[in-house]
A and B are shown apart, each in its own frame.
Chain A
Amino acid sequence: MQEIFNIFVKSIFVDNMVFAYFLGMCSYLAVSKTVNTSVGLGLAVIFVLGITVPVDYLLNDYILKPGALVWLDAGFADVDLSFLSFILFIAIIASMVQLVEMVVEKFSPALYSSLGIFLPLIAVNCAILGGSLFMQEREYQSLAQATSFGLGSGVGWFLAIVGIAAIREKIRYSNVPAPLRGLGITFIITGLMGIAFMSFLGIKL
């Protein structure tokens, strides 16, 4: 139980998707102009990561890992399908996003219209595929650990995008040098926020 909680906290602060690995930067830079839209996108990312990482964990554990097909037949013990993981993970992610989109449209039209174009775009958000690939690389032991990693990474991404959106709303009133306005200053602020998040690095969990 404690291990699961540790993974959750670690994936939010120490291994933050944005500041430590630069994942999901495209939508992070494009959608962070106002706090409202970035809260919506952040929630959608938490939701999708919380679903796709456990599903991809099961896929990896029962089909892709070297020797994973043993449950079918003992003869499959040395079959290694891990080279297929990219294409299967991205297929799962694309179909999950489609599914989430349909469910949200049916049960919460208000949220659906506020998310608009962002929901389908999540399929090509590197944070989502990155979550699954890190899950595979770090070899989590159980489904619960993988789920808490997925949710934690989502929360970390959420914090990052809401933080930068709030800063960008304020920075509109500052006198930034003209060539640095917009994209340039956003990069530099993200760098500074990353330095702040690095203070979590020494924490051993």
Chain B
Amino acid sequence: MSSEKQEREPLFSAKNRKLLTNPLGVDNPITVQVLGICSALAVTAKLKPAFVMSLSVIAVIVFANLIISLMRNGIPPRIRIIVQLVVIASLVILVDQFLKAFVFDVSKQLSVFVGLIITNCIIMGRLEAFAMSNKPWPSVLDGIGNGIGYAWVLVAVGFVRELFGSGTIWGYAVIPESFYNIGYENNGFMILPPMALIIVGIIIWIQRSRNPELVEEN
């Protein structure tokens, strides 16, 4: 960010910094707000698709937040859902065409889940809760914050599942051959879909035992 702007107007004031950092921890979209689990878990069997998916979601959420925030005074409240969906759908089409053009193999692996970014509740949720009532710059920060908050959970789950499930990271073997000779085996269970849920459950467990104020009643 340009420094001369920062002198005129506190571009990263304490409030704005909070917008960026809160979603990483105490206000995480996946583990606390329970948004966007739909398309998150199915793509985490390997690190690479999880990473590409995270980047796509960050791109869509930042631009959707920006566009909706710029238009927020011109959108009639009754039809706002349709307007939001159209903006999101157009951005997702761009992302999909981009992925098909440059990383075709990952795009094939992600299959329908790129399209499902449209109905990813994180994006709708942030548009409704934040961009509709805030200025463009805080909305962009909110988008980046929530996108990264979503991304780290996805990448963490993808890392664990690929490491223990296939013994590789990003497709490179990291567990040395000698381990396999002693009798170490890849845990094929990690590749299967239910393990993603259990790993997220464990992440929630760790996070809440460190932040007791997040604990639910029942």
The binding surface of chain A is classed by DSSP as: helix
Q: Is the C-beta of A51 less than 8 angstroms from some C-beta in chain B?
A: no
Q: Smallest CB–CB gap between A194 and chain B, Å? A: 3
- Report which of B31, B34, B212, B218 forms a contact with A26, defined as CB distance below 8 A: B34
- Using Cβ atoms and an 8 Å threshold, which residues of chain B touch A21? 42, 193
Q: Is the C-beta of B25 less than 8 angstroms from some C-beta in chain A?
A: no
- Using Cβ atoms and an 8 Å threshold, which residues of chain B touch A126? 38-39, 116, 119-121
- Report which of A23, A89, A195, A198 forms a contact with B38, defined as CB distance below 8 A: A23
Assess the B115–A86 pair: CB atoms within 8 A. Answer: yes
- Report which of B42, B85, B118, B216 forms a contact with A183, defined as CB distance below 8 A: B216
Assess the B201–A29 pair: CB atoms within 8 A. Answer: no
Q: How far is the CA of A75 from the CA of B39 in the complex (A)?
A: 39
- Using Cβ atoms and an 8 Å threshold, which residues of chain A touch B81? 94, 120, 123-124
Assess the B193–A194 pair: CB atoms within 8 A. Answer: yes
Q: Smallest CB–CB gap between A122 and chain B, Å? A: 10
Given contacts A22-B38, A181-B215, A183-B216, contact A191 B115 (CB under 8 A): no
> Which one of B89, B116, B119, B218 has the greatest number of beta carbons of chain A within 10 Å?
B119
One digit per residue, 1 when the CB lies within 8 angstroms of any chain B CB and 0 when it does not, for chain A 97-128 equals: 00000000000000000000000100111111
- Using Cβ atoms and an 8 Å threshold, which residues of chain B touch A129? 115-116, 118-119
Q: Smallest CB–CB gap between B150 and chain A, Å? A: 13
Q: Is the C-beta of A180 less than 8 angstroms from some C-beta in chain B?
A: yes
Assess the B194–A184 pair: CB atoms within 8 A. Answer: no
- Using Cβ atoms and an 8 Å threshold, which residues of chain A touch B133? none
Assess the A25–B38 pair: CB atoms within 8 A. Answer: yes
One digit per residue, 1 when the CB lies within 8 angstroms of any chain A CB and 0 when it does not, for chain B 19-57 equals: 000000000000100111111111000000000000000
Q: Is the C-beta of B209 less than 8 angstroms from some C-beta in chain A?
A: yes
- Using Cβ atoms and an 8 Å threshold, which residues of chain A touch B111? 137
Q: How far is the CA of A162 from the CA of B82 in the complex (A)?
A: 30
Complex interface residues of chain A between 147 and 205 (CB less than 8 A to chain B): 172, 177-185, 187-188, 190-195, 198
The binding surface of chain B is classed by DSSP as: helix
Question: Which bucket holds chain A's interface residue count?
Answer: 35 or more
- Report which of B112, B121, B204, B209 forms a contact with A124, defined as CB distance below 8 A: B121
Assess the A194–B197 pair: CB atoms within 8 A. Answer: yes
Assess the A26–B112 pair: CB atoms within 8 A. Answer: no
Q: Is the C-beta of B187 less than 8 angstroms from some C-beta in chain A?
A: no
- Report which of A24, A26, A177 forms a contact with B205, defined as CB distance below 8 A: A177
Assess the A178–B116 pair: CB atoms within 8 A. Answer: no
Assess the A24–B38 pair: CB atoms within 8 A. Answer: yes
Q: Is the C-beta of A87 less than 8 angstroms from some C-beta in chain B?
A: yes
- Using Cβ atoms and an 8 Å threshold, which residues of chain A touch B132? none
Assess the A22–B192 pair: CB atoms within 8 A. Answer: no
Assess the A130–B200 pair: CB atoms within 8 A. Answer: no
- Report which of A127, A177, A191 forms a contact with B197, defined as CB distance below 8 A: A191
Assess the B36–A181 pair: CB atoms within 8 A. Answer: no
Can you list 7 contacts pairing A with B, beta carbon distance less than 8 Å? A86-B118, A130-B112, A133-B116, A179-B212, A181-B216, A187-B197, A191-B196
